[in-house]
Structure 1
Amino acid sequence: MSSEVKPAALFLYVDNIPAALDWYQKAFPRAQRNYVAEFDFTVLDIDGFQLEMVPSDSKVAAGAFGTVLYWSVEDLSIAMQQFEHLGAKLYRGPMAIENGLGICQFKDPFGNLIGLRGQYQ
């Protein structure tokens, strides 16, 4: 294994892939859709990081069941307003953490959790 290890992709298990792709592209406007014809699969690429919508099944259901990825945002309050406008529901927080930062969690329309972390007053 190389000495550099970094996250490459986040799988979001959903019941409606087209709706999830649309919603997440609105939530992350820099995301670019990439269609992989060989597998008839579309991913969202955010600066080399892949956001992948995959069908929920009996092994991995859609929803808030554990691990939460936190996205770095410039201003937590503004990002929270944007996510609320898109229909996400505040799930936890916001709460102040170190160095003037804050965190919160939102539940997307598909039941998954999204963490946000940024400057917070």
Structure 2
Amino acid sequence: MLIKPTAILIHVPNVAEGVVWYQQAFPQARAEYLPEFDFTLLHVGDFTIEVVQADEKVSEGKKGTVLYWQVKSLDAALEYLTSIGAKLYRGPMLIDGNNRMCQLEDPFGNLIGLKGQ
């Protein structure tokens, strides 16, 4: 059985603001608006970021699961994301060889992981 990640749901208190921020955070993402659902998907290659409304069952914020994104330059990605409102949460730390990792907090309290040199 082949299991492959396909999407991440990111819960935010305001979907419109969340979509705008994540479009800035991932400028390579291709937005696809689904009018029948009044919903915008952000496609990064064959992976999808789905910014959804936080509610009483799943709130925004740090709850334990962090998706890590591979980047060519950790420093450049860190600088860019903090320039648009993310805050360094943990790291950077050396993990193997010359690779490092860190976590950033988005403006809605969710975590974004980065791995790279």
The aligned residue for residue 64 of structure 2 is 66
The aligned residue for residue 11 of structure 2 is 13
Distance in 2 (CA, whole Å) between partners of 1:99 and 1:36 is 43
How much does 1:36 deviate? Answer: 1.4
| Structure 1: 4+ residue segments shifted above 3 A | none
Correspondences of 1:16-55 after superposition (within 5 Å): 16-55=14-53
Distance in 2 (CA, whole Å) between partners of 1:38 and 1:48 is 22
How much does 1:9 deviate? Answer: 0.4
How much does 1:4 deviate? Answer: 2.6
Structure 2: unaligned runs, 5 residues or longer: none
Considering fraction of residues, name the structure with more helix. Answer: 1
Structure 1: unaligned runs, 5 residues or longer: none
SS at match of 2:36: helix
SS at match of 1:97: strand
1:105 pairs with 2:72: no
How much does 1:37 deviate? Answer: 2.1
Cα RMSD for the two superposed structures? 0.8
The aligned residue for residue 89 of structure 2 is 91
SS at match of 2:32: strand
How much does 1:40 deviate? Answer: 1.7
Matched pairs, number: 117
How much does 1:118 deviate? Answer: 0.2
How much does 1:39 deviate? Answer: 1.7
Distance in 2 (CA, whole Å) between partners of 1:67 and 1:73 is 19
SS at match of 1:25: helix
In percent, how many aligned pairs have the same letter?
50
* TM-score in terms of structure 1 length: 0.93
